[in-house]
Amino acid sequence: MSVAIHMPAVRSPADAVLITGVGVVSPLGNSFNDVADALLAGRSGVCSVPAADFAREQTQFAAPVDLIPQPPAGICPDAAEIARLGRLERLCLAPIAAALADAGLRPGQGGRRIGLVLGLGAEQLKSWELDFLAGGSDVFEPRRDPTIVHRLARLVGIGGPAVTVAAACASSGYAMALGRNWIDAGWVDACVVGGCDILSPTAIAAFYNLRALSRRSDDPTRASRPFDRDRDGFVMGEGGGFFVLERRQPAADRGARIYGELAGVGMSSDAFHMVSPCSDPTQAARAISEALADAGIAADEVDYVNAHAAGTPVGDAAEAGAIRLALGAAADRVPVSSTKSMTGHLISGAAAFEAVACLAAIHRNAVPPTLNLDTVDDACRLDHVPHMAREHRVDVAASNSFGFGGANLCLVLRRAA
């Protein structure tokens, strides 16, 4: 079985869209280096958390963010307004500001047109829930900004286009793809892209009722078990990441650090079911193959695949089939791991955080492990990296994100030449 793939024109080095700033807030740390250290050490951020208002179990596991950092000095001057923000807004604001500072960009200076694309799968749910739990009823109060993204853009001074994209668990990856397209179209000179999510009592209850969450109650660090024979669902986490995307020349003129290239994007839809994963790997494989074609990469040139694999029985097996279908014989030797075994599932922020994991693999020449992979499911046979990181040169990494409703996405990140 094969899928027809559109072959785009090959990009010149000058047209490459590069990552020049990274901001991250996660259960494993709040900087690129801290996250890379934790991932390669195989450290779990999953712990026991207090049962939420809507919890069905007395014991609940999740991967929370312990401390949301303050934005870097000079990016967000209004400390009083920042203090009034909700948790989701602060969780997004910190990495947006950090990514801008890391790239050496100050919005409003130098005449640069900077855009913002926020990946967020359920903004109105978060607003309703927070208001309900606070005992209020003014979710649609006119004094509030119309969307989170415009409030964030105002706080950091971004005057270019600012939008939110929703594609369930692939939302922040779709944000990265859209920002890349804006740069290609010449609408912006640089774009801040990514997404974050928070632990939400409503979402936890909903995923629990869908039987998507793990029912384990013994050891939190062993609950998330992607690709394992005994997996029984995912663990929810919070956090995510943002990136500054731009062309090579302005980055070089500014002396910016180049983390890597966003070299390829592939998307597809399963058109199958709103909440059930599709067991047919054809469309997910199409997204992977489209991303490789977009990057001008052959399957045997991929050095690492960061799998979406959240630990659900159907989803992990379907993804393993998609990787095999897209990579062919190369699937027997390309290392594959799921960092959700350490962070839980960051939902809207998952794709962006896992792009950070791919950049860590590129910079550290090592593949992060899949924790708790004691016995590989026969339906998930790949070149897994269980328990411990593997030293391995990574020039090209592919990152999969598959969201509810069948939103399939693959990003290809490449070592910058």
Please give the Cα distance from 271 to 228 (Å, whole number): 27
Beta bridge partners of 61: 48
pLDDT tens sequence across 32-58? 999 999 999 999 999 999 876 666 677
* Among the listed residues 166, 190, 146, the one whose alpha carbon sits nearest the alpha carbon of residue 348: 166
Give the model's pLDDT for residue 328.
97
Active site residues: 169, 308, 345
Length in residues, the chain: 417
Report CA 414 to chain centroid distance, whole Å. 16
Does residue 311 share a domain with residue 347? Answer: yes
Contact 358, 306 (CB under 8 A): yes
Q: What local confidence, expressed as pLDDT, does residue 8 receive?
A: 64
Widest CA span of the chain, in angstroms? 58
State the amino acid at position 334 in one-letter form.
V
**Count of CA atoms in the C-beta half-sphere (13 A) of 284:** 30
Say what the pLDDT of residue 126 is: 56
For 66-101, how does the pLDDT look when each residue is reduced to its tens digit (9 = 90+)?
A: 999 999 877 877 788 888 898 999 999 999 999 999
Q: Looking at the domain assignment, is residue 77 inside a domain?
A: yes
159 phi/psi in degrees, rounded to 5: -105, 0
User: What is the span of the domain harbouring residue 42?
Assistant: 15-254
Can you state the percent helix, strand and coil of the chain, rounding each to 5?
35, 25, 40
Helix (H, G, I), strand (E, B) or coil at 243: strand
Q: Which two tokens stand for residue 389?
A: 């990181």
Q: Please state the domain count of the chain.
A: 2
Tokens of 77: 């001057």
Query: Are 154 and 148 contacting, i.e. CB atoms less than 8 angstroms apart?
Result: no
pLDDT of residue 207: 87
Q: Which of 235, 254, 273 is the last residue of a domain?
A: 254
Residues 218 and 275 both lie in one domain = no
Indicate whether 215 and 144 sit together in one domain: yes
Among candidate residues 207, 230, 254, the one where a domain is terminated: 254
Tell me, what DSSP letter sits at residue 221? Answer: G
Q: Kindly state whether residues 216 and 305 are assigned to the same domain.
A: no
- Tell me what pLDDT residue 53 has: 61
Assess whether 405 and 279 both reside in one domain: yes
- Per-residue pLDDT at 144: 45
Q: Which of 194, 224, 254 is the last residue of a domain?
A: 254
CATH number at residue 181: 3.40.47.10
For residues 191 and 55, membership in a common domain is answered with yes
Helices within 70-224 (DSSP H only): 79-84, 87-103, 123-133, 148-156, 171-185, 201-209
Which tokens go with 218?
């013994």
Please report which residue ranges of 227-344 form alpha helices under DSSP H: 248-254, 282-295, 313-327, 340-343
Q: Is residue 185 part of a domain?
A: yes
Please indicate, yes or no, if residue 215 is contained in any of the structural domains. Answer: yes
Residues of the chain with pLDDT under 50: 138-145
- The token pair that represents 14 in the structure block: 């000058």
The whole-number pLDDT of residue 417 equals 81
Is 10 within the bounds of a domain? no
**d(C-alpha 40, C-alpha 367), whole Å:** 7
